[in-house]
Chains A and B, each alone.
Chain A
Amino acid sequence: MKKKYSLKSFDTLPITAISFLTTEGNETGEWRSQRPVLDSEKCSRCGLCWMYCPDNAIQAEGGSFHISYKYCKGCGICAKECPQNAIVIEKEER
Chain B
Amino acid sequence: MKEVISANQAVSYAVLAAKAQVIAAYPITPQSSIVEMLSGFCARGALNAKFINVESEHSAMAACMSASVAGARTFTATSSQGLALMHEVLHYASGLRLPIVMANVNRALASPFNLKADLTDSLSQRDTGWMQFYCESGQEAFDTIIQAYRIAERILLPVMVNMEGFILSHTYEIVDIPEQKDVDLFLPPCPPRECLDIDNPSMFGSTTDYYINFRYKMHQDMERAKAVCEEIGADFKKIFGRDYGLASSYLCEDADLILVTAGTIAGTCRVVADRARDRGLKVGVLRIRMARPFPGKQICEYLKTAKKIAVIDRDFSPGCGGIFAQEVKAALQGSASHTPVYEFIAGLGGKDVTDKDIEKIIEQTRNTPNPGDSTWIGLLK
A and B touch in the complex (CB under 8 A): yes
Residues in A lying within 8 Å of B, measured CB to CB: 1-2, 7, 10, 13-20
Contacts of B202 in A (CB 8 A): 1-2, 18-20
- CB of B203 within 8 Å of the partner chain: yes
Q: List B residues 170-197 near A (Cβ within 8 Å).
A: 194
A15:B156 contact, CB within 8 angstroms: yes
How close is B276's CB to chain A, nearest CB, in angstroms? 48
Q: Are B205 and A17 in contact (CB under 8 A)?
A: yes
Closest A-chain residue to B216, C-beta based? A10
Query: Which residues of A have CB within 8 Å of B214?
Result: 13, 15-17
Report whether A18 and B204 are in contact in the complex, using a CB–CB cutoff of 8 Å: yes
Q: B57-74 interface mask toward A, CB cutoff 8 Å, 1 = contact, 0 = none?
A: 000000000000000000
Do the beta carbons of A18 and B200 come within 8 Å of each other?
Answer: no
A1 proximity list for chain B (CB < 8 A): 200-202
Q: How far is the CA of A91 from the CA of B324 in the complex (A)?
A: 67
Can you list 13 residue pairs at the A/B interface with Cβ under 8 Å? A1-B200, A1-B202, A2-B200, A13-B210, A14-B194, A15-B214, A15-B217, A16-B96, A17-B207, A18-B204, A19-B202, A19-B203, A19-B206
Q: Is A16 touching B97 in the complex (CB atoms < 8 A)?
A: yes
Hey, which chain B residues are within 8 Å of A19, CB to CB? 202-203, 206
B367 interfacial by beta-carbon distance below 8 Å: no
Measured CB to CB, the nearest residue on chain A to B94 is A16
Contact check, A18 vs B194: say whether CB atoms are below 8 A apart. Answer: yes
Which residue of B is nearest A13, CB measured?
A: B213
For B206-245 the 0/1 string (1 means CB < 8 A from A) is 1110110110110000000000000000000000000000
